[in-house]
Structure 1
Amino acid sequence: MRKLTLTAIGMYIGILSAFSQNTDTSAYKSRKLQLDEIDFVSGYYKQNGNNSAVTGGIGTESLTDFANTIELKFSKYDKKLHKNNLSFELGVDHYSSASSDKIDPYTISSASSADTRIYPSVAWSVQNEEKRTTFGLNASFSNEFDYRSFGIGTSFTKASKDNNREFTGKLQAYLDQWSVILPIELRQNTGNNREHDDYPSEPRNSYNASLSLSQVVNRNFQVLLVAEPTYQNGLLATKYQRVYFTDGSLQSETLPDHRFKIPVGLRANYFFGDKVILRSFYRYYQDDWGLIAHTIDLEAPIKITPFFSLSPFYRYYTQNGIDYFAPYGAHKPGEAFFSSDYDLSKFTSNYLGAGIRLSPPKGVFGIQKLNSLELRYGHYNRSNGLNSNQLSIALKIK
């Protein structure tokens, strides 16, 4: 039941390696399943603001989140010498939210004030090196107090003969169920302090596609085009979020039961010799709720030494807001759809920070198997006053 912005989630979880090395497996192709890599990521997120949708667009948005994920990567070659990759990931994060606690402000400490989310996933792919194709499948699950999600997906990749061009297509479906929890004032029996299992539930399904084409223009310049259309249906409104009207009446947030999104993006990376990379990304987004958004992302990993790099980054984002948003007390009675969630309002935001990465040949702290360590910090600020700080650490064991 957390209230993190989608952009903040992306920034919070994202850990990018500045420089990578390819491993040559042509000399020996193991037919036994072997553990190739272990990745561990831990992050802390703290948010503040004064436009809580739970209380109608006013009030605290204070939230903290501590997240941890671990991923195990295995590989083997089958009888046809096709490379099979298998990965298992487990994520656990715990948050506390002052705004969610206002769903029922009359309780001393409601279940919504803090929660733990668990999200395991598994992915398998098979790579035909002769045909330069890769086929993959994945499945995921996520569970918290009021939300349960099942995900399944598939992917296909085809590279050109010279490996300078690559096409990837992905399909993903998330079949979700979440509890319909109303603000305390709108419940028929306000004296009944219901447990989680007593709340009715509604579905929310998301169907995502991703089509991307990457091209190596020359030894220094690479580009990638991507389109990621998404269709959602079911309960898309957050029913515990209040909306206040001009006549003083109160209702629960109500939004259309379907949404079609069309994001397209262009990524361009330029290598200035062996020490500096400029990574840039532009994304255009539009949906049928009237939201239009633009994102510009820049990152410049700088190799200070062969084993130490610094990566400053900056992201600018702007959106115009959906057709159904209005601030506290501004909606008119009789409107079919209404929301006072400032995540759906007009705003601009800036995200600025840096990461450092260590990958010494003898291992981090002299531990041979500890291949790399990365620390990353970012500060997020947007025009309606919301701000956050994120700190994360990533360890790679090979």
Structure 2
Amino acid sequence: MKSWVEVSERRLAGNYGLLREAAGRKTAVLAVVKANAYGHGAAVCAPVLARAGAEWLGVTDVAEGAAVREALTGAGISRERQPGVLVMSGLLREDAGDVIRYGLTPVVWLREQMEWLVEAAVQSGGGPVAVHVEIDTGMARQGVAPEAELEGLLAWVTGQTALRVDGVMTHFASSEVAGSSQTALQRRRFEEAMGAVAAAGLRPAWVHAGNSSTVDNQGSEGNLAWLRGLAGGVGARSMVRAGIALYGYCLPIEGEGLSAVRQELQPVMTWKTRVIGVREVQAGERVGYNGIFVVERAMRLALLPVGYADGLRRELSASNARPGGWAMVRGQRAAIVGRVSMNLTIVDVSGIAGIALGDEVVVLGDGVTAEDHARLAGTIAYEIVCGVQAAYRCGIAG
């Protein structure tokens, strides 16, 4: 195996515990394992989070939801003790049967989606299928438009016996911005939508909004207290959906915000590889594609079997004029030299004694974080961890 990912069960469960504490006793924390648990392996992370007390897990689509159900069962967690599994990014007609089969709860916002589910529920002969209705309060992404579409949709839903509105939700676009006027507007729109839900006679069990930054950003706007009050007004429980923070990262709060957990989170992923070559190079030699790095003094270089095809960003390349990224070799930084290529990367190990073929190297982990990679690549930690394609793949570490 040329590279692999280790997931720390202790850190993952610890991060979840921090988020639960910060959210408060009366607000549940849905643990998002979508996009293969942000690159960490949903089949590995879902059982850990279930054992840590998560009442809900969030997945991308029905196929991922089915895989998570199977992983939970395979981990010895009976269906009766498994968390709810929320399918967060829509569904198609062909997905409806598997929603019923695997006991998934889809997020819906279109009448067509609900009609497919009603048809599948009737065919299955079971009870009503539970859904969470998403309200678009200002992202123009997914969700029912409260002004134009909500009233008609609610009128249709109330006439269905094979469909049960278990939850109502929205998503904030700027949770990491303290005092955001966009969040304030979204809150007002969601309040109005919840008024319409109550007027239609619907009594959801859950009302939820926000993401990791909603938990972290505990400034003057008090989004969590607001959410608890809104949910309580319709007899529901409040819930917030935490994703990237579970895995040890969170966007910095912009403005005069008060961070609740960011500094305490611990990265969960360690991406490792091994040295497959060591060579001495002399001054004047060029390293890698286009020779962007020219050796200025005698160096010892180590070859690593990872590159941009594996998720190591090409922006971490280094020239003489521009330092790049690094890996950790025997607990020390080994700077990348030359271009990161498709499946190979070269690092400088001149100052590290005893380097040998097969030595373990940390590509991402303690000493070199996703935030370090993101800063050099001009992106966010989300994209870094989701992009790791370490050959396959994830295993539990301590």
| TM-score, normalised via structure 1 length | 0.26
Q: Which has the higher strand share?
A: 1
* Structure-2-length-normalised TM-score: 0.26
More helix by share: 2
Q: Which has the higher contact order (CA 8 A, sep 6+)?
A: 2
